[in-house]
């Protein structure tokens, strides 16, 4: 198998910037944002103008940016990919040196949703699993999107973005994505003697799915729909109540055109490849 390149192409950088601009606009109040950018965002003005010229954004009569129909469809595609990405959460903190559990016991090889991988004791295996599933199907894995999601999945996006805009504008954030892609473990690095890459990935994936099923049966918070939703911060907001007059809420729809999130463990390699990689291939640069 030929691994994906760790260097981001101009098109891949554009995809990430495109998402950021669409999210910034859609995440404001009623999904409208002043064309007078804040000081921290002013360095991204060229990206706002690009989104406007390419039809992702439009300007209201009040002089506010808002998503066009095209922009909403693109952002919904990102949202659908994020849903599929979250289904790999059981592999975000894997302890490879921990022995397998006895029958029916918790599998301590897999950490909970709130745990963070700390190499070498624990590793994030989401990239190697996703890459392997893509490559065995002959697809070019969009690892930059997977890594991007892993970096921002618990981030609260707001206008006081503590250097976020600057890192995007000067390319520092892209350098960091490339560094993560270069340093994450790959299947070839963990395959035991006498195994193939596909076999070891299948073994890890099935063990993770078994742990998800156990968590579901025992209603544990280690891996549950409630814990998953709580861990997403403001990165993914389906609906929000905005109180304009202090009493009457206005329901703001953030995204649409995606299936209701379902974390039941009825998925496998086909989900990772078809739902995530397929969406990335079909929507991002349309």
The number of distinct structural domains making up the chain is: 1
> Distance (Å, rounded) from C-alpha 187 to C-alpha 197?
6
The Cβ of residue 263 has, within 10 Å, a number of other Cβ atoms equal to 20
For the ranges 16-25, 74-83, 127-136, which has the lowest average pLDDT? Answer: 74-83
pLDDT tier, 192 (very low <50, low <70, confident <90, very high otherwise) = very high
- Would 3 be classed as within a structural domain? no
- Would 5 be classed as within a structural domain? no
Q: What is the pLDDT of residue 267?
A: 36
Is the per-residue pLDDT at 154 higher than 70?
Answer: no
pTM of the model: 0.77
Domain ranges, residue 245: 10-283
Q: What is the pLDDT of residue 118?
A: 92
- Would 4 be classed as within a structural domain? no
At 98-139, the pLDDT tens digits run 999 988 899 999 998 878 899 999 999 999 998 998 888 888
Element (DSSP H or E) covering residue 21: helix 10-26
> Distance (Å, rounded) from C-alpha 204 to C-alpha 197?
11
Q: What is the pLDDT of residue 261?
A: 38
pLDDT tier, 250 (very low <50, low <70, confident <90, very high otherwise) = very low
The SS3 call for residue 83 is: helix
Is the per-residue pLDDT at 58 higher than 90?
Answer: yes
Q: What is the mean pLDDT of the chain?
A: 78
pLDDT tier, 254 (very low <50, low <70, confident <90, very high otherwise) = very low
> Distance (Å, rounded) from C-alpha 255 to C-alpha 267?
23
């Amino acid at each position: 198998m030929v691994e994906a390149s760790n260097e981001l192409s101009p098109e891949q950088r554009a995809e990430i910037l495109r998402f950021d601009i669409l999210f910034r606009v859609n995440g404001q109040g009623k999904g409208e944002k002043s064309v007078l950018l804040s000081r921290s965002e002013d360095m991204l003005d060229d990206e706002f103008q690009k989104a406007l010229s390419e039809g992702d954004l439009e300007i209201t009569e009040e002089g506010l940016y808002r998503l066009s129909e095209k922009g909403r469809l693109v952002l919904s595609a990102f949202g659908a990919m994020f849903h599929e990405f979250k289904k790999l959460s059981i592999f975000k903190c894997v302890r490879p040196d921990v022995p397998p559990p006895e029958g029916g016991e918790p599998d301590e090889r897999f950490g909970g949703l709130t745990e963070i991988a700390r190499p070498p004791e624990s590793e994030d295996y989401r990239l190697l699993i996703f890459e392997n599933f893509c490559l065995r199907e002959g697809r070019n894995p969009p690892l930059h999107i997977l890594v991007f999601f892993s970096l921002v999945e618990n981030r609260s996006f707001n206008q006081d973005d503590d250097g976020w805009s600057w890192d995007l504008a000067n390319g520092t954030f892209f350098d960091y994505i490339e560094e993560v892609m270069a340093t994450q473990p790959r299947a070839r690095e963990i395959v035991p003697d006498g195994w193939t890459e596909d076999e070891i990935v299948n073994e890890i994936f099935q063990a993770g799915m078994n742990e998800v099923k156990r968590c579901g049966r025992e209603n544990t918070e280690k891996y549950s729909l409630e814990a998953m939703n709580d861990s997403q911060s403001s990165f993914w907001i389906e609906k929000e109540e905005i109180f304009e007059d202090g009493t009457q809420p206005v329901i703001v729809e953030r995204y649409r055109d995606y299936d209701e999130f379902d974390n039941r463990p009825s998925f496998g390699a086909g989900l990772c490849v078809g739902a995530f990689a397929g969406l990335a291939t079909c929507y991002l640069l349309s």
